[in-house]
Structure 1
Amino acid sequence: MEEQTNELKENPSVCCRICQQGPRLTEPFASPCDCKGSMGAVHPSCLHRWLATSGRSRCEICLYPFRTVAIQRYGLLEGLRLWMDVPERTRDFAADFMVVILLTMATIGLVVVCWIGTDHFIFEGKKLGMSRTWSMGALGFFVGVLLVGYTVTLCLMVRDMLCPWWRWWRRGISVIEVTRSHESSQNSAGDQI
């Protein structure tokens, strides 16, 4: 590992595989994984930024596992605010909200009409030869189907609004490198000898 790091310091034509820039005075190249040659050259700050933005915890070339911790990029409310800042989503939410209001008003109206007209339905049912129990049962069945349909529709609308946001929010993670485990283990092994 030290040989590879010295090789990288001595060769000015080597560039960081992430930012494609040469060595920096303040930040020498590191070889945090098992990649060899110029593919192993990376600035530590570039590696940290790549891990945070890509959400990966392994080298994409040699699949070396970095010691990392995944944290949510945004808090729950901040993620919801950012999601709703997109104009198309705001417009969709406003349209869905209007549909919910209209659907709620129509459902309440139908339930109130059924409740107020109960005596009328029973009277008309008696004309047709239906008992009071059958008329009340039919009216109750209608109101039950109406309320179940209303509830299912609301649940589906909420699911269609929240599921895409939830998936986006859950995937919005930053991966932070805990330690450069490869270099640490190599250096500690060298120190023990």
Structure 2
Amino acid sequence: MAKIIELFSDKSPPIQYKYDMNEQLITCRICYDEQKFEDLVSPCKCIGSYAKVHPSCLEQWLCVSKSTSCDICNYTFQTVERTLTFNEWIRKKRDWKLFFKKASIVFTIIVLWCSLLIVCGMKTYYYFADASNSYWSGTIMFMITFFLTTIMWFWIIIFIVLWRRMNVVVSLDKKHLDENSILNYDADVIV
């Protein structure tokens, strides 16, 4: 109870707001947080209140929007894209129940597909090993096995490509982020 009273009393620490030279409140155009302890930058050609963003907010917006340009002035940001490593992906995974449900479905499909490939491969060997079978029966069975193997490899490649696309991290290229884009401001204390 004492902590609640302390929050509303005059003894609470003062809030610091950031102002520009024209005495206008500086806020991030993405999160609108005036109290975030991160430098504001102007990474694009926008001016006024739309010019200022936190780099972390902009990077998160670029990841979510799958865009590399400003939606207001169409300036193309200099970004670096990379795929999450498996360890980073595991640390960020929050819904383990859904993950295990999807993983069990994928695992079941792979096991069934591999079992089908083994059966087809054994049948192909049987057709070629037994002299009483025709050459064309073995060839057709080999073609079926090859076709199923090709489909499985294409499926795995598509799965890997989609996984990489869904787990891309976009960050601003710090070399191209101008030192002039970091805004200098004076923090005024307001009670």
| Inter-partner Cα distance in structure 2 for 1:162 and 1:90 | 19
Match of 1:129 in 2: none
One of 157, 182, 188 as aligned partner of 2:152 = 157
One of 160, 163, 167 as aligned partner of 1:168 = 163
Match of 1:6 in 2: 21
Sequence identity (%): 22
Q: Which deviations, in whole Å up to 9, do the C-alpha atoms of 1:82-128 show, x marking residues without a partner?
A: 8xx45224323323322321442254145326523x2xx3xxxxxxx
C-alpha contact 2:127 2:137 (8 A) present in aligned 1 = no
| Inter-partner Cα distance in structure 2 for 1:66 and 1:108 | 55
Match of 1:128 in 2: none
- TM-score, reference length from structure 2: 0.62
Larger RCO (alpha carbons 8 Å, 6+ apart):
2
Match of 2:31 in 1: 19
Instruction: Give the AA of the match of 2:21.
Output: N
Structure 1, unaligned runs of 5 or more: 122-135, 188-193
Alpha-carbon offset, residue 143 of structure 1: 0.4
- TM-score, reference length from structure 1: 0.62
One of 38, 43, 47 as aligned partner of 1:36 = 47
How many equivalent residue pairs? 157
> In 2 relative to 1, CA 73–61 (structure 1 residues): closer, same or farther, beyond 3 Å?
farther
> In 2 relative to 1, CA 63–73 (structure 1 residues): closer, same or farther, beyond 3 Å?
farther
| Inter-partner Cα distance in structure 2 for 1:5 and 1:179 | 24
Instruction: Give the AA of the match of 2:58.
Output: L
Match of 1:59 in 2: 70
Match of 1:127 in 2: none
> In 2 relative to 1, CA 111–31 (structure 1 residues): closer, same or farther, beyond 3 Å?
closer
Structure with a larger share of its residues in helix:
1
